[in-house]
Amino acid sequence: MSHPAAPAAPATNFLRQRIEHDLETGAFAGRQFAGTPGDAAHHAGAPLDEARIRTRFPPEPNGYLHIGHAKSICLNFGLARDFGGACHLRFDDTNPEKEELEYVNAIKEMVQWLGWSWGDNLYEASSYFDFMYASAEALINAGHAYVDEQSAEDMRANRGDFGRPGVNSPFRDRTPAENLARFREMRDARHPDGAMVLRAKIDMASPNINLRDPTLYRIKHAEHHATGNKWCIYPMYTYAHPIEDALERITHSICTLEFEDQRPFYDWLLNQLADLGLLARPLPQQIEFGRLNLNYVVTSKRKLRQLVEDRHVNGWDDPRMPTLVGLRRRGFTPASLRAMVEATGASKQNAWIDDTVLDQALRADLEPQAPRAFAVLQPLKLMLTNYAEVFGSADHREPCETAAHPHKPELGLRKFTLGPELWIETEDFMETPVKGYFRLFPGNKVRLKAGVIIECTGAEKDADGKVTAVLATVIPDTKSGTPGADAVKVKGTIGWVGAHEAVAAEVRLYERLFTEAQPDAGGRDFLEFVNPNSLRVVQGFVEPSLAGAAPDQRWQFERHGYFVSDRADHTADKPVFNKITGLKDSFAK
């Protein structure tokens, strides 16, 4: 599988400038793999091409990827592609209680769906557990780590805060031999969860709280999806992540800004292990960029899980969700997501991006390729009262045709037929028209697109005065594509579907999931802003060319927007279409 083609002129940013500088100065010349942890064993001591950079996308397999992950995926894989390097897909599976194989497979599928390939560079943190454990023992022996038996409450209180330095643990001055014995007891399941932890010995008075003896290992008697019950102690993410980067010889460890305060510990740990001879220099460098924040979206895994479990949405792949599986089912294309990432760039500050940026990228991708189709979403019957007179019989079906795409003749023609009864949009008739209304009203003429010109003569109503059918007459010899097509001038053109061949369909109309641009800002309960109208299901009709359509196909329903046949629920017998986005931003009004 090849990567997507690089943009002709990719926008420059500080990440590109940093990589260009490192390549020019030979910052990673003479790199070698070190250590023999799991999958990296065959690389031990192997020299690397100094001209190649290595990046990584390191998701924790504890949930489904979301739109923010798309930014990280495209940045890391895209930079590796553009500079002739490699990007690793690595699962940071250090928390056995929250991780599942289901998420591992879903993550792989979404990275590939976005168009990227990791090749031979697929890794798991769990394959490095032996090396991480040996590194912890080395830190203990060197006096850089100790076992702390304080309660979690005492440890939290003694850590201090931004205005108060921390207090040394009473267990901090144990000898290396004592700490090593205690750590091995932890490993050998001789203590319960929470009884003790292994901490780095750095500086409890550091102004950076992340350097106040951070935890390296905790006891957790839980089965791991990859290692089973081999371990009852597990490394913390902040300890595991730098080691993983170093063992895989990552050059640029690109992450979001919330990890900026962790960088001093990242560097401290790698330098200690390099000094102990466990890692080879030059070491990876962590670089932070501003994360992608979209208005009207939440990306917290906890909050997304709450939406699913409390049934505000219909699963992780609900088309209203910002998960990649949800966006895929909604009908968004990989190319549109990659274009959005490219358009929003990379900066050193967090920024809020309006969600319309994503819609604009989607329209730019779909407009030149999505075939057109007629669809009636709020059906109203149109009866052509002189049809038999004009065409010789009420049973006659007058053939009509129009381009499948106005700018792609190679897609051919859509063919359908006119009959005496049609379906039109309810909004295409107004008994008493407002100023500027050029569709159907008594006495007005309009063109049925790709069909004939008709003149409205009135409407039928039920006992409550509701219009049940519009009445009109056909103007003879005005069929589109014939010499008389321009004989009568009209200002309005409307879409339609013949009642005799219309394909009944369920159409799901989506709006934003939240009514507030930043529903979780300031600690607010984001659930208070769930949009009760985010999904509206209507029963409509589509033109016969869509009969038998396969799932996950996209069209522009003329006048309505872009739609996709639902990848889960759509069948030829029971068509289901999802609205992806409108033809223009209706929220901009």
Catalytic residue ranges: 60, 291, 301
Quick one: tokens of 465? 């005065």
Q: Taking Cα atoms as reference points, which of 290, 285, 286, 236 lies closest to residue 258?
A: 290
Tell me whether residue 10 is annotated as binding: no
Tell me whether residue 291 is annotated as binding: yes
Neighbours of 491 (CB within 10 A): 12
For 301, residues 6+ apart whose C-beta sits below 8 A from its C-beta are 62, 63, 66
Q: Which residue has the tokens 């001209």?
A: 51
Tell me whether residue 92 is annotated as binding: yes
Tell me whether residue 62 is annotated as binding: yes
Burial of 206 per CB tally in 10 Å (0-12, 13-18, 19+): middle
Q: Taking Cα atoms as reference points, which of 64, 548, 502, 75 lies closest to residue 318?
A: 64
For every residue of 387-456, DSSP letters joined together read HHHHHS-TT--EEEEEESSTT-GGG-EEEEEE-SEEEEEGGGB-SSPPTT--SB-TT-EEEETTS-EEEE
Tell me whether residue 237 is annotated as binding: yes
Q: Taking Cα atoms as reference points, which of 581, 170, 154, 36 lies closest to residue 336?
A: 581
For 504, residues 6+ apart whose C-beta sits below 8 A from its C-beta are 539, 540, 541, 575
Quick one: tokens of 250? 């990552």
Tell me whether residue 61 is annotated as binding: yes
Tell me whether residue 72 is annotated as binding: yes
C-alpha–C-alpha distance, residues 59 and 78, integer Å: 17
Tell me whether residue 292 is annotated as binding: yes
The identity of residue 177, as a single letter, is A
The identity of residue 302, as a single letter, is R
C-alpha–C-alpha distance, residues 76 and 253, integer Å: 9
Tell me whether residue 70 is annotated as binding: yes
For 178, residues 6+ apart whose C-beta sits below 8 A from its C-beta are none
C-alpha–C-alpha distance, residues 321 and 128, integer Å: 34
Quick one: tokens of 90? 């690595």
Say whether 580 sits in a helix, a strand or coil.
Answer: strand
Tell me whether residue 66 is annotated as binding: yes
Burial of 397 per CB tally in 10 Å (0-12, 13-18, 19+): middle
Please report, in range form, the residues annotated as the binding site for ATP: 60-62, 66-72, 256, 291-292
Q: Binding site residues for L-glutamine, as ranges?
A: 92, 237
